[in-house]
Structure 1
């Protein structure tokens, strides 16, 4: 198998930074190694074991550290499982099965089985949004609610190579500018976790081989099979996906859709933790929280 890292030294650098972040995980957790037919899958479990399940899928060129800002709040109400996607920059197997197959559905079937989950709320970011969407259209009975952050595979993919490759050739400064176009300019004051996450992201972009295969589009008929409540969060300044087309197709085809469109937001949209929680909580829990706040 061809490695997804540019070198063994680069893999070690990424893993060292990631494992350092895992030691700083903000809530009590268990780190799991799950066997699947596509190789071992790393997962982080946190929150009460008897709480409803929430499964999180990060974007490509990333790992479960992407959720480190969100899990303190979400894990108060859910048993949260952060999954390192196979073939990406985490601790799971480096296998990359073809998109044009049911391989990723089979992989998530195995993950769900190993976590003893018959169903769960499912949230995915970017490429992880495509994975979550693909799974929900194939296994709607296994997905209680679906959250999509800037998902691929609905609107047309934008060609970022025209401007990204020249920036990558400019070393650390170019990588920083590329990350700003993808995720916006970082805040002037960052928490230690946010600073560590930015450093990890820069290290990944230095040593990781990004996916190059084009994501298949999810057809209208498949979108119409989404019979669970769906929250879509889109940024109007997304450089990866055609956000207006994504918005239009979701609104035309998804029966129970909550659309959160932020015209000035980039591809990676910060500050959505509370909005996602409000969507995921059932009405009785929301009423209880409102009563406590009074």
Structure 2
């Protein structure tokens, strides 16, 4: 297995920042370690224990801190399990199941079993997490009651390889990761300083997945029977967002799409829209 961190010092720097963000978690939460066939999986659980379950999967280079701005709202009516994807810079094992195989679906089977979820759950996925959630919905349609996809991979074509290292090497000779992060995410360097600093810290020390994510077929998408909400930024530099929205509307029977003008790959301020979709 290839190391996902460039050094032990880098691993500790990312881990220290993650622990700091977890201390800022705005609602009461349990931090769980779920044993799976891919190794331990770290989960932050918030909301009433008997409320309907929601599984939240972050994007590449991220972790469950992604959902800090949403969790106060979502956890009022739902039991939200923010899951650190294995092989990403969070608290889960460093294994990387092969994309396009059934390995990630088996991993999620183990996560749900460890959480005591025997029926279906709603899934929220962002970018890579959106791909994983969509893959699971296709392979395990009876386990996914609703599906929310932020800037998802796997529907529209990918514009770049996966992701930052190639862009840095080919586009910026000065290797300014913070500037690269601003361009890729579409975030303002003045309005989102903390987010961009965190992205730059991560990709200074972390080796992301580099291959393109597989595209799902029309037949796979058309077989989805659950309600699906797809949210994309019109100015996404990683995926062809107009193609994602159009293909979702054409191929997914019960799809709702939101195309956000002036928004790039990083999508914020959709807490209420997602909550309304989950409550319907």
Q: TM-score, normalised by structure 1?
A: 0.89
Q: Closer, same or farther in 2 for the Cα pair 1:163/1:4, shift >3 Å? A: closer
Counterpart CA distance in 2 for 1:168 and 1:88 is 24
Q: CA deviation at 1:199?
A: 3.4
Counterpart CA distance in 2 for 1:279 and 1:141 is 19
Partner of 2:156: 155
Q: CA deviation at 1:208?
A: 0.3
Partner of 1:53: 53
The answer to whether the 8 Å contact 2:51/2:78 transfers is: yes
1:200-253 CA-to-partner distances (Å, cap 9, x unmatched) read: 322111100010122111111110121111000011111111112211211111
Partner of 2:114: 114
Q: CA deviation at 1:164?
A: 3.5
The answer to whether the aligner puts 1:76 opposite 2:76 as a matched pair is: yes
Partner of 1:178: 180
1:257-293 CA-to-partner distances (Å, cap 9, x unmatched) read: 11101132101111111111111113xxxxxxxxxxx
Counterpart CA distance in 1 for 2:275 and 2:97 is 32
Counterpart CA distance in 1 for 2:63 and 2:242 is 27
Residues 1-294 of structure 1: matches in 2 within 5 Å? 1-117=1-117, 118-159=119-160, 163-166=167-170, 169-171=173-175, 174-186=176-188, 188=190, 195=194, 197-282=195-280
Q: CA deviation at 1:132?
A: 0.4
SS at match of 1:20: helix
Counterpart CA distance in 1 for 2:81 and 2:196 is 22
SS at match of 2:69: coil
Partner of 1:288: none
SS at match of 1:69: helix
The answer to whether the 8 Å contact 1:167/1:175 transfers is: no
Q: TM-score, normalised by structure 2?
A: 0.93
Counterpart CA distance in 2 for 1:250 and 1:179 is 27
> What count of residue pairs does the alignment treat as equivalent?
276
Counterpart CA distance in 2 for 1:273 and 1:156 is 26
Q: CA deviation at 1:168?
A: 5.8
State the structure with more CA Rg. Answer: 1
CA RMSD of aligned residues (A): 1.7
Counterpart CA distance in 2 for 1:168 and 1:64 is 29
The answer to whether the 8 Å contact 2:187/2:264 transfers is: no
The answer to whether the 8 Å contact 1:167/1:177 transfers is: no
Q: CA deviation at 1:189?
A: 5.9
Q: CA deviation at 1:175?
A: 1.4
The answer to whether the 8 Å contact 1:18/1:200 transfers is: no
The answer to whether the 8 Å contact 2:55/2:122 transfers is: yes
The answer to whether the 8 Å contact 1:35/1:41 transfers is: yes
Q: Closer, same or farther in 2 for the Cα pair 1:163/1:199, shift >3 Å? A: closer
Counterpart CA distance in 2 for 1:278 and 1:189 is 27
* Worse-matched range after superposition: 150-159 or 181-190: 181-190
